Amino acid sequence: MAVQVAEVPGTGAEPERQTFKPDLERIEIELLLEGIFRHYGFDFRAYAYASIRRRLWKRIEEEGLSSVSALQERVLHEPEMMEKLLLDLSINVTAMFRDPGFYCTFREHVIPLLRTYPFIRIWHAGCSTGEEVYSMAMLLREEGLYDRARIYATDINEVVLQRAKAGIFPLERMQEYTDNYIRAGGTRSFSEYYTAKYGGALFDQSLTTAFSTTVSRCSECWCWAARKHCVS
Ligand SMILES: C[S@@+](CC[C@H](N)C(=O)[O-])C[C@H]1O[C@@H](n2cnc3c(N)ncnc32)[C@H](O)[C@@H]1O
């Protein structure tokens, strides 16, 4: 097996010289991801390798460990370490009316179909901080379907779910979101949906209370309408 001397991924600080075996490291990473899947049910096995490797090493260094196998030992035996790693591994990039073309197509082709149903359920799997959920709520309201909809919004990351529930988004992104909203076929003035409050843009809470929206992780749900936890 070829042995290379290479920089261990991480902080970008001056790398320690050490013997680094990429083939062996790949085996360790695959074993860790398999272990996480089998023990906790979170499936990161198909994630981009370079990205997952970088994130694993960030956790390894923060814990003062020296190998992926050492992290595996901790993760499999300590649920708290799995919690930390979950935060490291989840990529939470999102935006309101992200991909405006999707919302135009949704309005044009899906909404007419939804109108034929007495009740609609929509599931945002991997909702991150909730911008996508609010976007859909606005669209449904504008299309007159809001009152017969229930939106389920789920994510594995409890931290982002908390932000989703709060409904406060960075003010500095409002211009971008306004542009997206217009390009997505929005029919109102985007600024009607939020007020500047708590250091951010607080979104119209009736977007979450007029119907039952759920932010959940596994079987645990958060019903926005009822403002309580329940079981899905
Ligand atoms: C890149 S964000 C996308 C957010 C939003 N759907 C959007 O497109 O703007 C991906 C989200 O999916 C979540 N996620 C990743 N894997 C998941 C899984 N197996 N189950 C639930 N959520 C997951 C992450 O925590 C993250 O918040």
- Chain segment 85-137, per-residue pLDDT in tens: 988 998 899 999 999 999 999 999 999 999 999 999 998 888 999 999 999 99
Total count of domains within the chain? 2
10 CB less than 6 Å from ligand 1? no
89 CB less than 6 Å from ligand 1? no
Query: 33, 57, 89 — which closes off a domain?
Result: 89
Q: How far is the CA of 91 from the centre of ligand 1 (A)?
A: 7
In this structure, which residue's CA is closest to atom 27 in ligand 1?
A: 128
| In a shared domain, residues 145 and 73 | no
| In a shared domain, residues 47 and 71 | yes
Asked whether the predicted pLDDT for residue 210 surpasses 70, the reply is no
Q: How far is the CA of 136 from the centre of ligand 1 (A)?
A: 16
Q: What is the pLDDT of residue 9?
A: 54
CA distance 202 to 88: 27
Under DSSP, the state recorded for 190 is G
Cα-atom radius of gyration of the chain, to the nearest Å? Answer: 21
- Burial grade of 10 (CB within 10 A; 0-12, 13-18, 19 or more): middle
Q: Domain with 215 in it: what CATH number? A: 3.40.50.150
Query: 89, 108, 123 — which closes off a domain?
Result: 89
> 94 with 43: CB under 8 angstroms?
no
Question: In the structure encoding, which two tokens stand for residue 135, read together?
Answer: 């976007």
| Phi, psi dihedral angles at 48 (to 5 degrees) | -55, 125
| In a shared domain, residues 159 and 63 | no
Q: pTM for this structure?
A: 0.76
Whether 199 is covered by a domain: the verdict is yes
Q: Which tens digits make up the pLDDT trace of 214-228?
A: 445 443 444 443 333
Q: How confident is the model at residue 212 (pLDDT cuts 50, 70, 90)?
A: very low
92 CB less than 6 Å from ligand 1? yes
| Cα diameter, the chain | 65
| Residue ranges making up the domain that contains 39 | 4-89
Query: 89, 108, 140 — which closes off a domain?
Result: 89
Whether 95 is covered by a domain: the verdict is no
Atom of ligand 1 nearest to the CA of 160: 27
| In a shared domain, residues 53 and 139 | no
In this structure, which residue's CA is closest to atom 11 in ligand 1?
A: 126
| In a shared domain, residues 82 and 116 | no
Whether 94 is covered by a domain: the verdict is no
Atom of ligand 1 nearest to the CA of 43: 19
| In a shared domain, residues 195 and 83 | no
| In a shared domain, residues 41 and 107 | no
Edge-to-edge order in the sheet of strand 220-223 = 120-125, 149-154, 213-217, 220-223, 228-231
Tell which residue, 44, 20, 23, has the closest CA to residue 33.
44
Q: How far is the CA of 37 from the centre of ligand 1 (A)?
A: 17
- Burial grade of 92 (CB within 10 A; 0-12, 13-18, 19 or more): middle
In this structure, which residue's CA is closest to atom 5 in ligand 1?
A: 127
Q: How far is the CA of 63 from the centre of ligand 1 (A)?
A: 25
CA distance 223 to 229: 6
| In a shared domain, residues 197 and 113 | yes
